[in-house]
Structures are given as C-alpha cells and as structure tokens.
A and B are shown apart, each in its own frame.
Chain A
Amino acid sequence: MNIYVLLKRTFDTEEKISVANGAISDDGAEYIINPYDEYAVEEAINIRDEHGGEVTVVTIGEEDAEKQLRTALAMGADKAVLINTEDDLEEGDQFTTVKILEAFFEDKEVDIILGGNVAIDEASGQVGPRLAERLDMPCVTTITDIKIDGTTVSIERDVEGDVEKVETSLPLLVTCQQGLNEPRYPSLPGIMKAKKKPLDELEIDDLDLDEDEVEPKTKTTEVFLPPEKEAGKVLEGEVDEQVKELVSLLKTEAKVL
C-alpha cells in the first residue's frame, strides 16, 4: 500500500506564547510534531506493518522541519519529503498549503493519506478535508479506529463525544483524533536507521507552481495576547462558610447562577 502522512511542525505544547513585531515570537521555542499528526504517523506505520507497503511523510515548511521528519522516520516511516517554501513564499494559508499538496500528489499512486484532525498552532483543521476534495477522495475526519480489509475500510470516528461507525473504501483521506493509538517513542536503532532513510527536498518550482497560483485567500492583520487573567479571590474560613460565600459571589457578583 502507498501510505502518506501529512505532518506539521509546531511549537511544543509547553511553550508560553509571546508576540514580537506583530507576530508570534519563535525565539528559543522548542518544536515538536503536531500531536495529532503523531497519531497519523503511528497509524500509518501500523497499517504498513499489517498490509505491507511504504509510509511517506510529507511536510511543507522550512529547512528546520527536517528534524520532525527525521523523528517520524525514526518512529518507522520509510521516506520523507520536505516541500521547502522558505525562499519562495512569505505568506500562505490553508488554500496555499492544499494547492501545493495537490500538485505534489498529482503524479502519485495513493491508497491512503493520514493527517492530524487539527494543528495545535493555527487550529483551522482545514487541510485534510480540503485536500481530499481536490484529489476527489472520500474523507473521514476525527477517526479513533480504522480497519482495512481489501479496499473496504471500517472506521470509528469521534463526533462531539459520540462514536460514529463509518464504512468507506480506498483510496481515502482520514484525519486522526486522540484515542486512535498511543504513538511510540523512536528507539535508538530507529534513530540510527532514520539518518540513512531517504529525505527528499522539493521547492514549489519542482511542482510546476508559480507563486501567483498559491497566493493566500486570507491575511492576518494582527496578532495579540489575551489580557492576562488576574488571580482572583481565594476564599477563607471553614469549608461550609467558603461554600456559602462562593455561591453568593457566583449569584450576585459573577451573576452566573
């Protein structure tokens, strides 16, 4: 099977966010594979181990994203592709990303594409469903279980806490939700092997795309931090009194009861 994973490099969830010159400051930030994409990498490896084939991990970004691709290779993916837009694109949005991915997949034989259901940074959740539409594939979002039998695929997906059982067929695009699996840590031999695995680097020229064709449809005009939440009142006295005071404050001051 030809298995592809869409991967995004994101800030570590531990990072505090600060703004400098109208943008999120990446000064000294630690990066990780977007946690939802990690589920996609893990599931792709499991699918390959069961059905055979090859896992290719694809990312769009800068040179530095090689580190996250190597991590995916160390987990067990076979090949990686970095579509480096550092020199060509100043701005992009989900339209841009999908235009590039569509061009990338144009000449590929694909059985399944897996991605995260959302990235923890920009959190649009658009790329998976948008790409499936361009590639004319069925798309199932927020999956928590997948079984493949021939070309028939049985999926469980999370719909606001309910479980929906879906049947569909390959070729297919899915986006992964927490609960799908427990992503493995790269092993030491895995890390050694990953250094020798193929990692191709492409630019948008190589995909026959012009900058005009990938021009974003949206723009960010301002980035700001929410007002710092001030620590409130820690109540005092016996528990009974505290509870009474709390209920009275919720009713009269906060007006939420």
Chain B
Amino acid sequence: MSKKVLVIGESREGALRNVTFEAIAAANIVSDGGEVVGVLCGDGDLSQMGQEMVYHGAARVITISNPELKTYTSDGYSQAVYQVIQDESPEGIIMGHTAIGKDLTPKLASKLESGLISDATELVVDGGNVVFTRPIYSGKAFEKKEITDGLVFATIRPNNIPALNRDDSLAGSVSEKEVEISNIRTIIKDVLRKSSDGVDLSEAKVIVAGGRGVKSSEGFEPLEKLAEVLGGTVGASRGACDAGYCDYSLQIGQTGKVVTPDLYIACGISGAIQHLAGMSNSKIIVAINKDPEANIFNVADYGIVGDLFDVVPKLIEQIKEIKVNA
C-alpha cells in the first residue's frame, strides 16, 4: 500500500547532512511507490538545499524560513514541522537519528500520540507492513519492530541505509511555507564548537580510536594525524576518557556513542565488552595493541601486535604513499 511519507531534513553549517539523503532513501522504501515530501527548517534562503533533496529523491520539498529557526530549538522546530504535518497528513515520517532527530521526534510523536521507532539500521516492506531492524543493548542484539497503529514514524541511524544517487535531472517543486512561531521556552545563549572538523562520530566513515594505551592527551596526536590522512575522526574508549586523556564526548561504547563506520582502527584499546558493544558492528576493524591476548583481536578483521607509537606513524607514511600513487 503506497504511502505519503515526510522526510525531516537537517542541515549543518549551511549544508544538508548526509543522513538527510539516507532518510529520503528510507522514506522511499516506506512510501512503497507513494509520494516522498521533504521539509526543511532554517533561516534565510533554503531553496538550494531543498533542490538537493529533490535531486536525492524527494518528489517535492517544503522549506520554512524564519529567524526563530536559525538555530534548532525543540519548541521552534516542533511547531514548524507540526504545521506541515497538519497540512500534509502524511502516513509516514522519517528523520535521521541525530542529536536533533533524538530531541525533536519524540516530542512530535507525543503530540501526535503516535508510535516511534528510533535508531533503525534497516527496513523492509513485508506484506504491507514496514519492518524496522534496530540495535538493542548497544548492538549486542537486534530487534525487528513494527508500528501497530497509524503513522509509520521512525528515525534512522546514520551510515546504515544507503542514500540514492544524486540525479540532477530529477524535477520537483521546492515551495516556501510561512509559519508562525511563538513561545520558545529554551533560549540558546551560545554554542562552543569542540568538534573541529564538523564530522560527528556517528556519521564518520573512518574512526581512529584510542584507549589507555595512548597514555596521555599528547598521545592522541598521532591518532589525530592518522584520522586526518584517512578523512576520518578520532574516538576513544572509556578508559582513555576516565584517565582524562580526552573529552567524554569522544567516548565509544555502551555508555557513550555507538558507531558503525566503514573503517575502525582501535589503538591501544583492550576491548572490554562495553567498548565492543559500541563498535563491533563497524564494517572493517583494525586492532593495534601490544598485548597479543587483548580481547580486541577477537573482533578485529586485521590485527597488528605492536606498540601503537611505533605502528601508527608508519601507517600514516604508508597511506600517504598510496594516496600519492593513486
């Protein structure tokens, strides 16, 4: 049964996040031949980004530009998107499971008294029902879940559902909608950017992670260099965070972030079960550790037994070399 499905788009520093395109692809599956409608909130001219959503598979896009939507607030965005939901009466809603997605979608689901399936990594249409797969116990297990009543509302984990190829011959309307926004109860005073490259761990394709074996905050420098040549970002185990080598926002594991990059390089990480829960679903895992008995080798595709301070600089040189030759 075909459905009209709304995709809530998300931008960061003037560009759409990749998970928005993945959400369009997911919405396309849910719609089962029905219409995929994008919605995008912000301030200023959003038509260019709206157009990008069309090129990635949205049939049409509604943009809402308002000074009150310049930065995300739950009250502002929920009012704006709620009005589009009222106008469009979609049968499905899909958004990325990002900081904004996690904050906004439960509020909307509660307002709509609907179900919500969070953090799906896979979805299929099975005899008219949409079946979502999602990790539980931080990826130690998975469940299949369906909405039993009404609106098919879900968030998808970045990096799991492939986006459709960009096709700039696709046509679709991008229209602007005026929305009244009032009573914003949380005022954003300031944002301190700590993530230098703007790549969030959950969206990163390559993660170089350090554990206690990194020994100090300076010890993260070679890891940062390796991440840089690979176009990735740096993460850490709880051990490294607890020891004060790095910020808790980098922590990967059962408490902390759960990540699924294409390549995960674990440096000086022993591989406690809580850490494995956060990263063992990465596509390719490389472990570098002095201890040949370290648990991390049990989940690694490739392992090097050795001192990370010896191995990592050599790895950087090798990768640079093949990049030059490529």
A: residues with CB less than 8 A from B are 11, 13-14, 16-17, 19, 24, 35-36, 93-95, 98, 120-134, 138-142, 154, 158-169, 178-179, 215-226, 229, 231-235, 239-240, 242-244, 246-247, 249-251, 254, 256-257
Contact = CB atoms under 8 A, between A and B. Distances in A.
A162 B193 contact: yes
A140 B75 CA distance: 11
Given A140-B186, A235-B303, A129 B314 contact: no
B1 interface: no
A226 B194 contact: no
Contacts, number: 248
B39 to A, nearest CB: 19
Interface in B170-198: 185-195
Interface of B: 74-75, 98-99, 102-103, 105-107, 109-111, 113-119, 131, 135-150, 185-195, 200-202, 206, 230, 247-251, 254-256, 258, 262-263, 273-274, 277, 280-281, 283-286, 292, 297-306, 310-311, 314-315, 318-319, 322
Contact of A256 (B74, B141, B280, B284): B284
**List of 8 A-B pairs having minimum Cβ-Cβ separation, nearest first:** A217-B115, A138-B185, A133-B110, A232-B301, A161-B195, A130-B110, A129-B106, A126-B106
B187 A246 contact: no
Given A166-B187, A232-B300, A243-B315, A250 B273 contact: no
21 contacts: A123-B135, A129-B103, A138-B75, A160-B200, A161-B195, A161-B200, A162-B192, A162-B193, A162-B195, A164-B191, A217-B150, A218-B117, A218-B148, A220-B143, A221-B145, A223-B142, A232-B285, A232-B302, A234-B304, A235-B303, A246-B302
B194 A163 contact: yes
Main DSSP-derived SS at the B contact region: mixed
Contacts of A169: 185
Contacts of A121: 136-137
B255 A221 contact: no
Interface of A, secondary structure class, is mixed
B265 to A, nearest CB: 10
A167 B190 CA distance: 10
Contact of A223 (B143, B186, B284, B306): B143
Contact of B146 (A120, A123, A218): A218
B10 to A, nearest CB: 11
A43 to B, nearest CB: 15
Nearest to B98: A160
B231 to A, nearest CB: 10
